[in-house]
Amino acid sequence: MPIREDGQKVVGLAPSRQSSFYGRDIVSVRQFSREDLAYIMGVADEMRSIVKRVGATDLLKGYVLANLFYEPSTRTSSSFIAAMQRLGGAVIPIHGVQYSSVSKGESLPDTIRTLECYADVIVLRHPEVGASEVAARYCSKPVISAGDGIGEHPTQGLLDLYTIYTELGTIDGLHVAMVGDLRNGRTVHSLARLLRLYDTRLSFVAPDLLRLPEEIKEELLAAGRPVAETDRVEDIIANVDVLYVTRVQKERFADLRLYEAVKDYYEITPELMAQAREKMALMHPLPRVGEIHYDVDDDPRAAYFRQMENGMYIRMALLAAVLGKA
């Protein structure tokens, strides 16, 4: 199908109420304005209420999603599948690329060109930074990144932002701290970039080896956001509204001795949570491998299970929006 000159992809009949998401690729959170974010969070609210009331709708009946994962995933892949199915659409799941023609040496552009013959939208997770942008260039249907290496994870960023909003009722005015592997954690990169659009204060908690990339810090400073860095959770836990904890990304380490040296740097325990505000949100993109003690799970401030549920509503909203049905 043709790609229009303004970059919008033609994905079917023009919708009656076009959103700026219609026919677009979702490859980096840098493409969003505050208006876009308010819109997509509003649609996610509608999706939540549909699921709670009737479980599913036929909004995307007749549409097909290709879910193409070159890296492991539990939440992102299954929530995209659930999202498409709850919207009445169908899914081509490709989760073990070793069983596809990728193992015969097929290039990403050729795999994408193949899938666009069968699907209306492609979700792609890939180990290389920028892979979804490359895929989007070759694809006349919308491509949604499900994470590209240590780059970004835009749909996780959106669901994290939505979780902050649903947990605390606002985003402006908040102090958000991010803890753990800020260097390799793509979810951190996307969420930090989204928060630069809001009146937020940001603290980054990491050992030297895992500090936030300079480039992202500069983007935040250029947007006028106050940024602080420390390597101790104890320095900030008493005065944050959001504590966003991440796993050390073992798969990104060439030298596993370095991973061993930092893997157990942080653990959020009930004792630490006792120092935190009564009203705050403890978040984690998951999986956790020791950064949050299981005894914290019953704390009402532990938002990570609600956070992953929110992922399905945000992904329903995105699928409907890029296909012009939101």
> In angstroms, what is the minimal distance from the CB of 311 to ligand ASP?
10
Q: For ligand ASP, give the closer residue by CB, 24 or 153.
A: 153
Given a contact cutoff of 8 angstroms between Cβ atoms, the answer to whether 266 and 181 are in contact is no
The residues with which 145 forms a beta bridge, in sequence order, are 124
Q: For ligand ASP, give the closer residue by CB, 84 or 283.
A: 283
DSSP state of 213: P
Size of the site for ligand ASP (CB under 6 A): 6
3 state SS of 126 = strand
Question: Cβ atoms within 10 A of the Cβ of 323, count?
Answer: 24
Q: Which of 9, 95, 175, 186 is close enough to bind ligand ASP by CB under 6 A?
A: 186
CA distance 326 to 322: 8
3 state SS of 281 = strand
Residue 150 tokens, joined:
């240590």
Residues 91-130 binding ligand ASP (CB under 6 A) are none
> In angstroms, what is the minimal distance from the CB of 247 to ligand ASP?
4
> In angstroms, what is the minimal distance from the CB of 96 to ligand ASP?
17
> In angstroms, what is the minimal distance from the CB of 123 to ligand ASP?
13
Q: Is residue 147 near ligand ASP by the rule CB under 6 A?
A: yes
Q: For ligand ASP, give the closer residue by CB, 186 or 193.
A: 186
CA distance 287 to 185: 12
Q: Which of 9, 126, 141, 153 is close enough to bind ligand ASP by CB under 6 A?
A: 153
Q: Is residue 89 near ligand ASP by the rule CB under 6 A?
A: no
Q: How distant, in Å, are the alpha carbons of 47, 60, 69, 245 from that of 127?
A: 30, 29, 9, 22
Q: Is residue 187 near ligand ASP by the rule CB under 6 A?
A: yes
Task: Count Cβ neighbours within 10 Å for each residue of 49-59 and write b for 16 or more, e otherwise.
Answer: ebbeeeeebeb
> In angstroms, what is the minimal distance from the CB of 117 to ligand ASP?
28
Q: Is residue 163 near ligand ASP by the rule CB under 6 A?
A: no
CA distance 53 to 116: 33
Q: Is residue 285 near ligand ASP by the rule CB under 6 A?
A: yes
Q: Which of 141, 247, 315, 325 is close enough to bind ligand ASP by CB under 6 A?
A: 247
Binding site for ligand ASP (CB under 6 A): 147, 153, 186-187, 247, 285
